[in-house]
Amino acid sequence: VEPSAVPGPGSPQCPLVDVASASNFSCFQLQHFHLDLRLNFAVKEMSGWLVLDLIPIQMGNHILVLDSHPSLLIHSIDCKVPRSGQEEPVSLTYRIDPFTDYGSSLNISLPAAAVKPGRLIEITIRYTTTDGPAIWWLDSELTCGQSRPLVFTQGHSVCNRSFFPCFDTPAVKSTYTATVRVPDGVTVLMSASRSAYSKQDRVFQFSMEFPVPSYLVALVAGELQHVDVGPRSRVWAEPCLLSCAVKKLGGSVEHWLGVAEDLFGPYLWGRCDIVFLPPSFPIVAMENPCLTFIIASILESSEFLLIDVIHEIAHGWFGNTVTNATWEEMWLSEGLATYAQRRITTEAYGEAFTCLETVVRLDALHRQLRLLGDNNPVSKLQVKFEPGVNPSSLMNLFTYEKGFCFVSYLSKLCGDIHRFDHFLRDYISKFKFKSVVAQDLIDYFLGYFPELQGAAVAQREGLEFERWLSGCGPPLYEPDLSGGDPLIQPVQDLCDLWRNIECPDLQTVTSFDLSVWSTFQIVLFLDRMLDHSPLPHGDVANTIGRTKYILMYTVPLYEDLVAGVMKYVAVEIFYQTQRRMHPNLRRTIQQILFQSSSTQSNQNAPALSLMSSSSPSPSPSPSPSLTTQPQQPSAKATTTIALRDVNVSA
């Protein structure tokens, strides 16, 4: 059974309810929208208007409901009907109602005479933003160059309703254009396929010619420069970071794109640019189409940079081209992108590298399960959440790693990984620029491989597809990762040495030359040692401390130092480095150091970790060393035990 065709770019794949959206998106087809904004850094506001091109789908619906946010100040709303003989706009009445703690509903009364199924109407909303969760204004002190302020937006997953009123659901996709007016010396970038700039008027213009959901509309403005690193990719960054970023990436982006295209078909977005943002960026990376946002701290580790950029490139197929229709099935984006990322790294860097990275992630998944318990509902792939629950709070390792394991299981059922590559290529071609649910993927899989459907693989005992989707607990299948043993075994040997000998000989320990270990070997060692916290021997901190990767374990290391006899050292380090920390991280460490109950305070603090698609170490400039999850609902979340998007990388 193949899913029905979609009537237009703004229509969901099938009738559905998105409990995270207050909008009545199923009543209208969104064909296009335009943003016209002016940025005011002095008062930290964006002001202007939004124009929505809508086609009503049914008779008798005279109310348009959009997702909005209390931080948006609506000034006026009007409507006009092009080519109707009445071109003058008509002022509309509207009402703002509470919805959840992450948004509100904007209810607009439409003129009855104007609303006819199939006839285009234009809705113009004039508004001003204030301090909403999607928009991050950074004073110059929090930028890498510390010379000029910067602003960026982060829409995943339900934050862009504080950027502009919208159908804030991944079920709805449309094209968009934007005009952005800025002060002199400010460069604006957006997740768009085309751009232009008028220096005389200080106006940037953008056009996204492919349909995207609202959460993938992104903007950054500040002192930014660029260097082309390939025929369809360039690197953007603050001037002090640019040469380092270009040197680290080199010509790799085009190479990775080529490998991905060989596996999954043509890259449909045209541009594949990357902008490096200050370490205050609330997540590690975000797959905004044509323009990946990534945290500058990642530049300290070539391996994490590689993994995160490749993951965002994979989203060009899985997540951006074919999108999960609701946030309850986020794994359709992240699980498939993680699988695609690992296919790319296997082809580009070999099986051992990919298996090592996967072991690190799956170790973290099982660590999370030990903390939460096997029956915790957040471990489901299809997470059903009640109205009012912020989808961002459900961003976890299961979305990525359990999703990856399910996709790996589907690949195993095929019996040939290259045959599964062809399936994924055709899946993208079938559903490109549409939003899907899990059943769409499963139906297409079983139809593509009729012999598997005939063998009833979806009902195989203990591995039922329904159990995969709705069951709690660990993955029902994990791929064979023995190909990583040459890199993994030395790590395990050192861990065993420390655990099994009461007082290991320091000379024996130092015979393990960590300077030749890869980042992921260091990470795996630290993770497995921290599984047995507090650290068993004082010298372990000295030995581990020789590596530059230690900073991504800021919170657990401070906790161990405070629990032992080295609290005075921890306090001294904090006083020396606190000015370079993001305020959220600074507050977390202050709670650990200076409050009586460090355990309780840390449970209530923002989760930290730059792993997973994350930046393991400090930025090359005097900026915060690490990032933490924002206290406001903002984006792909990470957990204290590491790993991407748990975007760990979007």
Q: Give the SS3 label for residue 349.
A: helix
CA angle 138, 141, 144 (to 5 degrees): 85
Bridge partner residues of 169 (DSSP): none
DSSP, res 133? T
Number of H helices and E strands in the chain, helices first, is 19, 22
DSSP 165: -
Over residues 15-39, the mean pLDDT reads 94
pLDDT for 154: 95
Could you tell me the domains of the chain? 17-132+155-211 (2.60.40.1730), 324-482 (1.10.390.10), 483-545 (no CATH), 554-594 (no CATH)
- CB within 8 A of 447, min separation 6: which ones? 1, 2, 453
**pLDDT value at position 582?**
56
Strand bridging mode 103-109 / 63-68? antiparallel
Instruction: Please determine, for residue 509, whether its predicted confidence score (pLDDT) is greater than 50.
Output: yes
Rg for the chain, CA atoms, rounded: 25
Cis peptide before 534 (omega within 30 of 0): yes
Q: Which of 104-118, 326-340, 485-499, 620-634 has the lowest mean pLDDT?
A: 620-634
CB atoms within 10 A of CB 595: 12
Three-class SS of residue 57? coil
pTM of structure: 0.86
The rounded distance, in Å, linking the Cα atoms of 272 and 274 is 7
Per-residue pLDDT for 128 more than 90?
Answer: yes
Please give the pLDDT value at position 23: 98
- Positions annotated as catalytic residues are 312, 400
> Shortest CA distance to 476 belongs to which of 355, 376, 354, 374?
374
Alpha carbons 13 and 192: distance in angstroms, whole number: 24
CB atoms under 10 Å from CB of 466, counted, come to: 12
For 280, phi and psi rounded to 5 degrees? -75, -10
Residue 555 pLDDT greater than 90, yes or no: no
Which residue from 137, 34, 177, 645 is spatially nearest to 393, judged by alpha carbons? Answer: 645
Lowest mean pLDDT among 43-47, 56-60, 181-185, 392-396: 392-396
Neighbour tally for 386: CB within 10 Å: 6
The predicted structure's pLDDT at residue 607: 30
Q: Which helix (H) or strand (E) holds 617?
A: none
When mean pLDDT is compared across 78-87, 469-478, 528-537, 583-592, the lowest value belongs to 528-537
Per-residue confidence (pLDDT) for residue 417, from 0 to 100: 98
- 97-111, 433-447, 623-637, range with the lowest pLDDT: 623-637
pLDDT at 187: 98
- Residue 229: alpha-carbon gap to chain centroid: 23
Angle between helices 403-414 and 331-349 (to 10 degrees): 60
Would you call 174 helix, strand, or coil by DSSP? strand
Phi, psi torsion values for 389, nearest 5 degrees: -80, 130
In the structure, what pLDDT confidence band is assigned to residue 498 with cuts at 50, 70 and 90?
A: confident
The identity of residue 339, as a single letter, is Y
User: Residue 178: in which H helix or E strand, if any?
Assistant: strand 174-181
The CA distances from residue 318 to 331, 388, 404, in Å, are 10, 27, 12
pLDDT of 648 strictly over 60: no
For 132-164, the pLDDT digits (tens) are 999 999 999 989 999 999 999 999 999 999 999
Residue 465's Cβ-side half-sphere holds a number of Cα atoms within 13 Å equal to 17
The mean pLDDT of the chain is: 86
- The whole-angstrom separation of Cα 555 and Cα 607 is 9
d(CA 421, CA 166): 35
Strand partners, 462: none
- Is pLDDT above 60 for 481? yes
Q: How confident is the model at residue 598 (pLDDT cuts 50, 70, 90)?
A: very low
Annotated binding site for Zn(2+): 311, 315, 334
Helix (H, G, I), strand (E, B) or coil at 177: strand
pLDDT, position 532:
75
